[in-house]
Amino acid sequence: MGSARAPIDRIGVAVLRELVEMIVTGAVPEGGVLPPEAQLSQEFGVSRTVIRETMKRLQEKGMVTVAQGRGTHVNAMRSWNLMDPLILSTLIGHDDTLGILDELSVVRGALESAMAAATAKRRDDDGLSRLRATLQLMRDSMEDSAAFRDADIQFHIAVMELSDNTLAESLARVLFERALESSRYHGIDPEHAFELTMREHELILAAIEAGDAEAARAAMDHHILGSWERRRLPTLKRS
């Protein structure tokens, strides 16, 4: 077996973040060539070893192709690892039209809807008790927005974990966690937002309690997409 990859140091992380941002924002467009190693070393004030290691990281993320003698070319977005936390966070951070957050909500809805359906099929007394408890926490904290949102997240995590679909849960968690970092994802709560959210969660739980997988799927999808549409900033239009 080969030796383990040495951890990238703090300076290397800063360089990596800046280069990812250059690519995401189109400062170096698809098909474009990044500056040569010596130039980047000088511009960032770091050793060529740091630049070389950073290029390897970008290549691992699918963002660039390093061709000996032809430079480092930026790949099309479809080649990027969009589940990579740094790439996803940077895309969301520069998502002026909210297009990435629109897509994220659709994918998250599909994943969590499938997990809600699975949870309805697998429900047991312990799982139902856990869901009822998190729902009660939401109900009890409607006057405390931070506590309400935390209980809301706990309800979604409970549904995911009870589905026993580890891959779907892992993917959905990455999407959810990166989205929660963005003020744009939180958007603006409309009037009676918590009451609407509460009702949607009650419908999800009712479908799970009834063992109705399709109703649970539909209720979760309606909630995730509907709540995003309610919060979505009206000043930022779709492209």
Per-residue pLDDT for 230 more than 60? yes
pLDDT tier, 3 (very low <50, low <70, confident <90, very high otherwise): very low
Q: pLDDT value at position 171?
A: 95
Q: pLDDT value at position 7?
A: 52
**Residue that wins the pLDDT comparison between 179 and 3:** 179
- Rounded Cα–Cα distance for residues 78 and 166 (Å): 25
Please give the share of the chain, as a percent, with pLDDT higher than 90.
Answer: 79
Per-residue pLDDT for 1 more than 50? no
Per-residue pLDDT for 2 more than 50? no
Domains and CATH numbers, the chain: 10-79 (1.10.10.10), 85-231 (1.20.120.530)
Here the contacts of 192-199 (C-beta below 8 Å, separation 24 or greater) are: 193/227, 193/230, 193/231, 194/142, 194/145, 194/148, 195/142, 196/226, 196/227, 196/230, 197/138, 197/152, 197/223, 197/227, 198/138, 198/139, 198/142
Burial (CB < 10 A; 0-12, 13-18, 19+), residue 67, is exposed
Per-residue pLDDT for 88 more than 90? yes
Q: pLDDT value at position 97?
A: 84
- For the record, the structure tokens of 226 come out as 């509907």
- Rounded Cα–Cα distance for residues 9 and 53 (Å): 10
b (16+ CB within 10 A) / e for 191-214:
eebbebbbebbebbbebbeeebbe
